């Protein structure tokens, strides 16, 4: 039972008010299938009820913190503040991150105390793997535990060459009956890794471990706590098989860069196959290491069947992480850029700027001298085991400059509130309570620039940043916690931007007419709805537990055909300068004739950026099931003519739309309503 409740008459006044979802209904479809939870009576939440759950959950956390520390709670002021936050979320002037929309106000957070369910992203370093057996397995179990509640996790490969791999002794195996829980799945991973790493630390071969999967509920059964449907034991069995194969092949060697990335990737593959547990990864490695740089070179890997463990067929799971290099101001990027031109990876992380600067327009402050990585999309500076919550604001939806400044107060407060919760990891709690890092983001930047000048944007961002610092002083004092080490970022956005009907982050749409493909778990009820409604769907060629669904899209906004890579990078640098004291997530799309411009772009802008990635714009079919594929108007019209509007909503309203989010970017288009 939450300790804070909004006034009932206030909430009921919104019951019959139509929320202004974006894209003429697409945002509504996205909300119902992504964030609307089942209620105890078996029906799904309406928007006004989801907003209530989120706001009451946030103020309940504040109230528990204030009362447990005997700081003096004022119920009248809290009610007034909560009602204004409610209104601004309901009107989508700002929105919580997707994890908050799903988990805040639920038993997962408020009774089971799994605070990490509120956070977008995390980072874990493998640098200390060689210190002890516990430290050797911890980065991998952290990855799995966080991923299973939807947190995207970054990791590095600094633990390579620290631990000798030994196959367990030829003895009667230990049988572990895996509990039907998140903790049970994570424990099974821990037992495997301990059995192969143990001799390095103890001098004795470990007893082998085998698993009993009978306690895991079958696929399709509801998950009452976190929500969604069970994937059954198959994804976990497959992950175990892959890990046994990796480690058996690497017997007698030290854990390599490839081993680390492979283990993390198959964990991600397992979790993504788990229906609602969608996650993302980023791997950070040295620019000078040839092994690391070739991890995504699958043609090379297929020829090296036994290179450092298991290099063959990495395409089956290597897609789960975006691989980036950590670069310095004097790093020669020539060779890496050539690889980026070929396949869009690696991305670039400029750790010198990350550690030295907050906003790039301000003097170096070295607040993040202990930072070691970034989140999967590159918008958050993070220490090892640190999490971050990214609340999204939409300047283009503000009624005025003053209205946007007021919105920033509540967006900031929601993010700050997340720092008050505990997670199930002591390492995370320690760094969270010390840094209190948040990421108040801006989305729909390109929408804003359609009606405002760049100078208007600069003023809104600069004043907005200072307004957030003012509120951080006020609320940190009230809560009696440290001020946040960093407060702002630019996330690429996901489905949240669809609710508000704005372009994601600072990105431009891809094409005018194109196919946008999304992955859906093979046992998701939504998959059957889309297939029977005429959407093209086929098994995923790289993930055996997912299908790929194709959506024909017509986007009438200014698209990347009219935007150069210089303009895209300049906008990212502008936002890094005047808004983000964490980072700006920007995936810059380049045309074939612009490939030779990547090096001069990075030479000029590496002093102004903290992270950046590039993606080749492919006009023609290049590889199976790529996320974007340009099509003609005729192909688009033909695909749309075959689609009947799926009935997705409980109230029977038929709306046809598309959404895609892979935790990098989202592009959107609402189709015209099609009669069945």
DSSP 555: -
- Count the Cβ atoms, other than its own, within 10 Å of residue 382: 28
CA-to-CA distance for 94 and 416, rounded, in angstroms? 15
Question: Is the preceding omega at residue 442 within 30 degrees of 0, hence cis?
Answer: no
Q: Which residue has the tokens 């804003």?
A: 448
3-state secondary structure 109-158: HHCCCCHHHHCCEEEECCCCHHHCHHHHHHHHHHHHHHHCCCCEEEEECC
Q: Cα 38 vs. chain centroid, distance in angstroms?
A: 23
Biggest distance spanned by C-alpha atoms of the chain: 72
3-state class (DSSP) for residue 442: strand
Q: What residues are paired with 222 via a beta bridge?
A: 229
130: its two tokens? 């060689």
Catalytic, out of 121, 270, 377, 661: 377
CA-to-CA distance for 372 and 549, rounded, in angstroms? 37
Catalytic, out of 379, 392, 510, 629: 379
Active site residue 506: no
The number of residues in the chain equals: 676
420: its two tokens? 């008050």
Phi-psi region of 25 (alpha: psi -120 to 50; beta: other; left: phi over 0): left
CB contact burial 519-548 (16+ within 10 A = b; e otherwise): bbbbbbeebeebbebbbbbeebebbebbbb
Residue pair 663/152 in contact by the 8 Å Cβ criterion:
yes
CA-to-CA distance for 315 and 296, rounded, in angstroms? 8
Active site residue 361: no
Instruction: Tell me how many helices (H) and strands (E) the chain has.
Output: 23, 20
Q: Which residue has the tokens 């991305």?
A: 347
DSSP 588: E
Q: How far apart are the first and last CA of the chain?
A: 44
Could you tell me where the beta strands, DSSP code E, fall in 15-100? 94-95
CA-to-CA distance for 416 and 438, rounded, in angstroms? 6
For residue 569, the surrounding DSSP H or E stretch is: helix 565-578
634: its two tokens? 């005729």
What is the signed CA dihedral for 396, 399, 402, 404, rounded to 10 degrees? -40
Q: What is the DSSP code string of 231-251?
A: --SHHHHHHHHHHHHHHHHTT
3-state class (DSSP) for residue 647: coil
CA-to-CA distance for 553 and 530, rounded, in angstroms? 15
Catalytic residue set: 377, 379
């Amino acid at each position: 039972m939450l300790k804070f409740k909004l006034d009932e008459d206030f909430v009921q006044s919104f019951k019959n008010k139509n929320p202004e979802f974006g894209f003429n209904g697409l945002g509504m479809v996205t909300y119902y299938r992504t964030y609307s939870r089942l209620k105890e009576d078996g029906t799904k939440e309406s928007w006004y009820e989801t907003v209530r759950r989120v706001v009451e959950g946030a103020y309940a956390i504040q109230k528990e913190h204030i009362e447990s520390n005997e700081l003096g709670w004022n119920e009248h002021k809290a009610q007034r503040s909560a009602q204004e936050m409610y209104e601004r979320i309901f009107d989508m002037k700002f929105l919580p991150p997707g994890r908050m929309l799903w988990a805040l106000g639920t038993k997962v957070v408020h009774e089971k105390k799994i605070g990490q369910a509120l956070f977008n992203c995390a980072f874990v370093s493998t640098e200390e793997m060689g210190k002890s057996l516990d430290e050797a397995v911890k980065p991998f179990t952290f990855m799995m535990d966080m991923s299973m509640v939807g947190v995207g996790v970054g990791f590095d490969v600094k633990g390579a060459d620290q631990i000798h791999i030994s196959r367990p002794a030829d003895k009667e195996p230990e049988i572990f009956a895996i509990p039907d829980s998140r903790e049970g799945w994570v424990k099974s991973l821990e037992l495997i890794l301990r059995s192969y790493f143990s001799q390095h630390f103890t001098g004795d071969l470990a007893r082998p471990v085998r698993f009993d999967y009978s306690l895991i509920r079958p696929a399709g059964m509801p998950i009452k706590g976190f929500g969604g449907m069970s994937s059954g034991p198959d994804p976990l069995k497959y992950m175990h098989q892959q890990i046994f194969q990796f480690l058996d092949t690497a017997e007698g060697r030290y854990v390599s860069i490839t081993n680390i990335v492979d283990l993390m990737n198959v964990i991600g593959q397992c979790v993504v196959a788990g229906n609602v547990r969608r996650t993302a990864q980023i791997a950070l490695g040295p620019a000078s290491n040839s092994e690391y740089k070739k991890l995504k070179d699958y043609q090379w890997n297929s020829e090296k069947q036994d290179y450092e463990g298991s290099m063959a067929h990495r395409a089956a799971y290597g897609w789960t992480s975006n691989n980036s290099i950590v670069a310095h101001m004097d790093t020669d990027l020539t060779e890496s850029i050539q690889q980026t031109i070929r396949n869009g990876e690696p991305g670039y992380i400029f750790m010198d700027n990350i550690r030295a600067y907050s906003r790039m327009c301000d003097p170096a402050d070295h607040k993040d001298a202990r930072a070691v990585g970034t989140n999967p999309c590159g918008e958050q500076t993070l220490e090892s085991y640190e999490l971050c919550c990214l609340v999204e604001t939409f300047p283009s939806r503000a009624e005025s400059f003053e209205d946007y400044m007021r919105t920033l107060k509540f967006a900031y407060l929601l993010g700050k509130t997340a720092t008050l919760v505990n997670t199930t990891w002591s390492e995370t709690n320690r760094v969270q309570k010390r840094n209190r890092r948040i990421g108040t983001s801006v989305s729909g930047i390109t929408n804003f620039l359609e009606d405002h000048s760049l100078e208007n944007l600069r003023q809104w961002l600069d004043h907005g940043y200072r307004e957030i610092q003012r509120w951080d002083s006020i609320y940190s004092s009230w809560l009696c916690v440290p001020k946040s080490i960093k407060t702002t970022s630019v996330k690429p956005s996901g489905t949240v931007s669809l609710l508000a009907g704005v372009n994601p982050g600072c990105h431009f749409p891809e094409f005018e007419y194109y196919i946008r493909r999304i992955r859906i778990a093979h046992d998701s009820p939504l998959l059957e709805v889309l297939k029977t409604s005429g959407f093209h769907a086929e098994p995923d060629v790289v993930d055996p537990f997912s299908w790929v669904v194709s959506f024909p899209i017509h986007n009438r906004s200014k698209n990347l055909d009219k935007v150069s890579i210089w303009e895209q990078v300049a906008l990212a640098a502008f936002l890094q300068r005047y808004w983000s004291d964490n980072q700006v997530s920007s995936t810059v799309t380049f045309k074939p004739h612009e490939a030779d411009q990547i090096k001069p772009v990075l030479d000029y802008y590496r002093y102004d950026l903290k992270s950046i990635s590039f993606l080749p714009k492919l006009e023609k079919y290049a590889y199976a099931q790529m996320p974007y594929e340009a099509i003609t108007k005729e192909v688009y019209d033909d695909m749309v003519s075959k689609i009947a509007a799926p009935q997705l909503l409980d109230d029977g309203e038929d709306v046809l739309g598309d959404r895609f989010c892979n935790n990098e970017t989202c592009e959107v288009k609402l189709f015209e309503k099609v009669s069945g």
